[in-house]
């Protein structure tokens, strides 16, 4: 068990450190803020955590749309709202779906989305 003097010293030291953090730079001699502040967020998941082809049960629609987009997607008041597809047609037997892709959609590297990319994604998933 710690002695009372050590406990008091520890508490006083902690309060002094907190005071320095919150009040140490306030005063007449403090400099104005300058430069750029950058914030790094630690993401402690594997890179493939949000990969929809992995079949994980914990993948939600919200997580999916953080990194991926869809030809159509559910929106308020619409089960299938246009997204990467401007429009689509469905055959009478519901076996053939034809999508008209939006123009100008680009990937993170600047490449434009093509029908081949959509086919690749469907085959992969």
CATH number of 97's domain: 3.90.76.10
83 located within any domain:
yes
Taking residue 85's Cβ as centre, other Cβ atoms within 10 Å add up to 19
Distance from C-alpha of 63 to C-alpha of 48, rounded to nearest angstrom: 12
The tens digit of pLDDT for each residue in 27-81 reads 555 667 778 877 777 666 666 666 666 666 555 655 556 666 788 888 888 888 8
The tens digit of pLDDT for each residue in 2-33 reads 566 667 777 777 777 776 666 655 555 566 77
pTM: 0.50
Distance from C-alpha of 94 to C-alpha of 52, rounded to nearest angstrom: 24
18 located within any domain:
no
Question: Which residue in the block uniquely carries the two structure tokens 């994604």?
Answer: 121
Give me the domain span that covers residue 94: 58-124
Q: For 60, what's the count of Cα atoms within 13 Å in the CB-facing half-sphere?
A: 2
108 located within any domain:
yes
């Amino acid at each position: 068990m710690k002695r009372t003097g050590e406990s008091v010293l520890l508490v006083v030291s902690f309060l002094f450190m907190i005071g320095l953090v919150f009040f140490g730079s306030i005063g007449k001699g403090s400099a104005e803020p300058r430069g750029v502040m950058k914030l790094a967020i630690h993401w402690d998941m594997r890179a493939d955590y949000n990969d929809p082809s992995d079949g994980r049960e914990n993948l939600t629609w919200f997580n999916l749309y953080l990194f991926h987009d869809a030809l159509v997607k559910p929106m308020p008041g619409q089960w299938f709202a246009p997204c990467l597809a401007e429009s689509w047609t469905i055959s009478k037997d519901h076996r053939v779906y034809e999508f008209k892709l939006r123009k100008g959609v680009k990937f993170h590297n600047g490449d434009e989305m093509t029908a081949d990319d959509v086919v690749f994604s469907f085959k992969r998933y």
